[in-house]
Structure 1
Amino acid sequence: MLERYGHGGDLRTAEETYGFPARQFIDFSSNMNPFGPPEGVKRVLLQYAEQIDRYPDPAVRGLRAKLAQLHRVDEQSILIGNGAAELIDLVVRAIKPTMTALAYPCFTEYGDAIIKAGGSITPVMLSPENDFALTESMLAECNARFYMFGSPNNPTGQLVDPTLIMKLVYRGATVVVDEAFMDFIPEEEKFTLIREAAVNERLFVIRSMTKFYAIPGIRLGYMVGAPQQITALRKLQVPWSVNSLAQLIGEAVLDEQEYAARTMEWLKDERPWLIGRLEELGLRVIPGAVNYLLVQLPERPGLTAASLQYEMGRMGVLIRDASHFIGLDDSYCRFAIKLRHQNKWLLQALERGLSKFQEAGIR
């Protein structure tokens, strides 16, 4: 099982499972920008040796200032963290909710953070018949005082209607919105709740900087909330949580306007192209909105997400077995969207892998 530690992108486990060196895999299990890090990251790395003997800024002032300007919010509304995962854990520890509503399937670390903090979970099960979209009717009978949503949601790729979230806030609930993949949305301004979070004590928005800028090895994310809430969270944060290299890279990538435009142009064309090819192979594609696709496999003897993952791994192509997400069965996989030549490799491996199960059924 490639998801031994609960995530995609585990190349060390892939090496141990299939016996290939990491560089020989094409990894569709991890949802990173396929262009790789922008040029600004390389420049920072080349210069960093001259600064490694200095302490990082404990207040992360340079990056906070740039993010505040980008989102047009107060700097005091921003908290930088060691990836979105740290901030998810931090906000749960700070609020200590006794009962939290989670819409399944969703990012596994939401539930992990809640359980570690001693809380309980009220499940809101998203429906495959409704393409896993969250609707107001699903929340009508939910009386939780704390909610966590992914928008876009992982693994479904579905956005959550911002008005639905604000209705929960207005009726007195506290809501955390994980917008880790929001950078990939062309109409980001229509869906993000960053500016609302900056002035509302019951709303928090978490962003990742590692997905869009392809820097997962540098743990970097940020949270936006009302200044008094952010101050309280900062007091609970581990000192020196964000190292100086991460801070410098974060500042550098925000200047990469050409890189961002190229990414959006690529996704606009590549996403519908890949969806069409996957549907031609008989897969059902869930209509999400980002740089990954949740798909349902056709019914064939012996064909499951795990068995297909193993067959494709033997061909050097890694995919995510999505059955490990609560609310999905063993017919669901998740694929990152990559560059055209890489996506063709995915399709070729899929066709070969699927044909093995078709042949098994005939025999």
Structure 2
Amino acid sequence: MLEKYGHGGDLTTAEELYGRPTQKWLDFSANMNPLGPPESVQSVLERFGEHIGRYPDPRVRGLRQKIAEKYRIPVESIWVGNGAAECIDGIVKYLRPASAAVTSPAFTEYEDALHKVDAKVTHIPLRAEQDYRLIAEDLPPAGNMDLYMIGHPNNPTGRTVEARLIKNLLEQGETVVLDEAFIDFQPEEEELTFIRIAAQHPRCFVIRSMTKFYTIPGIRLGFAVSHPDHIAALMKQQIPWSVNGLAQMIGEEVLGDDGYAERTLLWLAEEREWFRRQLQETGLICYPSETNFLLLELPARSGWTAPLAQRWLARRGILIRDASLFYGLHERCLRTAIRLREENAVLVSALRDMLASEPEGGGEE
């Protein structure tokens, strides 16, 4: 199984399973911006040699100031972490809820973090017939949960949450953690984000990732926004120097690259619709998405399952996410990143060939 450690993009495991070197894969299993890092990242790498002998700023002051300026929020409302994963884990550890609600499907690290504090997890169903949108009627009764963890947009479905639904939860006295790791890919980010609400709200937390949009997953970088009292407590419990100096420098540099952001949004608006049409023409069900990945469903009549399809593609040098591993999805669900046109065309062609053939049996690789 390619997701033996719970994530896509694990090229080392792929090499171990199939013998293909890590640099020889076409990877649709990790949702990175295919434009690659901004050009400014290279200049940071060249300059960092002068700084490698120094400790990083333990308060991450330069990057926090840049974030504050970009989103027009107080510096005191920002906590920077070693990737969004540290922010998820740190907030759950800080709040220590006895009960929590997560959507199903959802990013698996929500539930992993909740289990570490022995929280009782309730799953809020997202349904295919509703295109996997979160519906207010499916939420638990008010007052029954200590915490809601919600993807906005959700992973692996790619759908944002209606603002009124989130505001209603907050007005009812609920504590809400919104994971906005992929909201940068939305042209309407300014209107959709809850960052400015979270910056002063005592029961709202927003988590952001910088690794997906700026294609810097090797440099772990994310941040959280909430009321300054919460942020002070989160920074106090954080491991010293969690965010290394190179990550801080890169974060400061890329946040101001408006040209890169504009190019990304123009590329995605065109490519997502083209890719979705092409995938549907192969016979796959392709659900609507508001970000840089798509949730797919193999046709039942084909006999193909997600694990079989993943292995068939992997033998041909293509990685795709087995979405049946997400709680709430079934064995015919796949998730694919949206990459550049030439690469997307390779996946479409491979899936067309696969669906025209008989399913290949066999157990785990």
* TM bracket, shorter-chain basis: over 0.9
In structure 2, what is the Cα distance between the partners aligned to 1:82 and 1:309? 30
Partner of 1:75: 75
In structure 2, what is the Cα distance between the partners aligned to 1:57 and 1:83? 16
In structure 1, what is the Cα distance between the partners aligned to 2:38 and 2:358? 40
Partner of 1:21: 21
**Displacement of 1:126 after TM fit?**
1.2
**Displacement of 1:141 after TM fit?**
2.8
Answer yes or no: is the 8 Å Cα contact 1:308–1:354 preserved in 2.
no
In structure 2, what is the Cα distance between the partners aligned to 1:241 and 1:223? 14
Partner of 1:139: 139
Partner of 1:8: 8
In structure 1, what is the Cα distance between the partners aligned to 2:79 and 2:101? 24
Answer yes or no: is the 8 Å Cα contact 2:102–2:124 preserved in 1.
yes
TM-score, structure 2 length as denominator?
A: 0.97
Structure-to-structure mapping, 1:1-363, within 5 angstroms: 1-139=1-139, 141=141, 143-300=144-301, 302-357=303-358
Answer yes or no: is the 8 Å Cα contact 1:300–1:357 preserved in 2.
no
In structure 2, what is the Cα distance between the partners aligned to 1:49 and 1:358? 52
**Displacement of 1:302 after TM fit?**
3.8
In structure 1, what is the Cα distance between the partners aligned to 2:51 and 2:360? 59
In structure 2, what is the Cα distance between the partners aligned to 1:180 and 1:249? 18
**Displacement of 1:18 after TM fit?**
1.4
Letter in 2 for 1:260: A
SS at the partner of 1:357?
coil
5+ long unaligned stretches in structure 1: none
**Displacement of 1:139 after TM fit?**
1.2
SS at the partner of 1:246?
helix
**Displacement of 1:349 after TM fit?**
1.2
TM-score, structure 1 length as denominator?
A: 0.97
In structure 2, what is the Cα distance between the partners aligned to 1:146 and 1:166? 14
Residues 63 and 301 (structure 1), Cα distance of their counterparts in 2 relative to 1, 3 Å cut: same
**Displacement of 1:358 after TM fit?**
7.0
**Displacement of 1:160 after TM fit?**
0.6
Answer yes or no: is the 8 Å Cα contact 1:55–1:244 preserved in 2.
yes
Answer yes or no: is the 8 Å Cα contact 1:150–1:177 preserved in 2.
yes
In structure 2, what is the Cα distance between the partners aligned to 1:336 and 1:150? 17
Answer yes or no: is the 8 Å Cα contact 2:308–2:360 preserved in 1.
no
How many correspondences in the alignment? 360
Answer yes or no: is the 8 Å Cα contact 2:156–2:323 preserved in 1.
yes
Residues 121 and 140 (structure 1), Cα distance of their counterparts in 2 relative to 1, 3 Å cut: closer
SS at the partner of 2:178?
strand
Answer yes or no: is the 8 Å Cα contact 2:302–2:355 preserved in 1.
no
In structure 2, what is the Cα distance between the partners aligned to 1:276 and 1:255? 34
Answer yes or no: is the 8 Å Cα contact 1:174–1:202 preserved in 2.
yes
**Displacement of 1:125 after TM fit?**
1.2
**Displacement of 1:300 after TM fit?**
3.5
**Displacement of 1:359 after TM fit?**
10
SS at the partner of 2:263?
helix
In structure 2, what is the Cα distance between the partners aligned to 1:33 and 1:355? 30
Letter in 2 for 1:136: A
In structure 2, what is the Cα distance between the partners aligned to 1:258 and 1:200? 32
**Displacement of 1:171 after TM fit?**
1.0
**Displacement of 1:257 after TM fit?**
1.3
Q: Deviations over 1:30-76 (max 9, x none)?
A: 00000111111111111111110000001101000010000000000
In structure 2, what is the Cα distance between the partners aligned to 1:315 and 1:359? 14
Q: Percent identity?
A: 53
In structure 2, what is the Cα distance between the partners aligned to 1:27 and 1:351? 18
In structure 1, what is the Cα distance between the partners aligned to 2:45 and 2:219? 11
Q: Deviations over 1:68-88 (max 9, x none)?
A: 000000000000000000010
Letter in 2 for 1:206: I
SS at the partner of 2:166?
helix
* Deviation >6 Å, runs of 4+: none
In structure 2, what is the Cα distance between the partners aligned to 1:277 and 1:84? 32
Letter in 1 for 2:147: F
In structure 1, what is the Cα distance between the partners aligned to 2:156 and 2:325? 10
Answer yes or no: is the 8 Å Cα contact 2:303–2:359 preserved in 1.
no
5+ long unaligned stretches in structure 2: none
**Displacement of 1:301 after TM fit?**
5.1
Residues 301 and 262 (structure 1), Cα distance of their counterparts in 2 relative to 1, 3 Å cut: closer
In structure 1, what is the Cα distance between the partners aligned to 2:360 and 2:16? 29
In structure 2, what is the Cα distance between the partners aligned to 1:357 and 1:259? 43
CA RMSD of aligned residues (A): 1.2
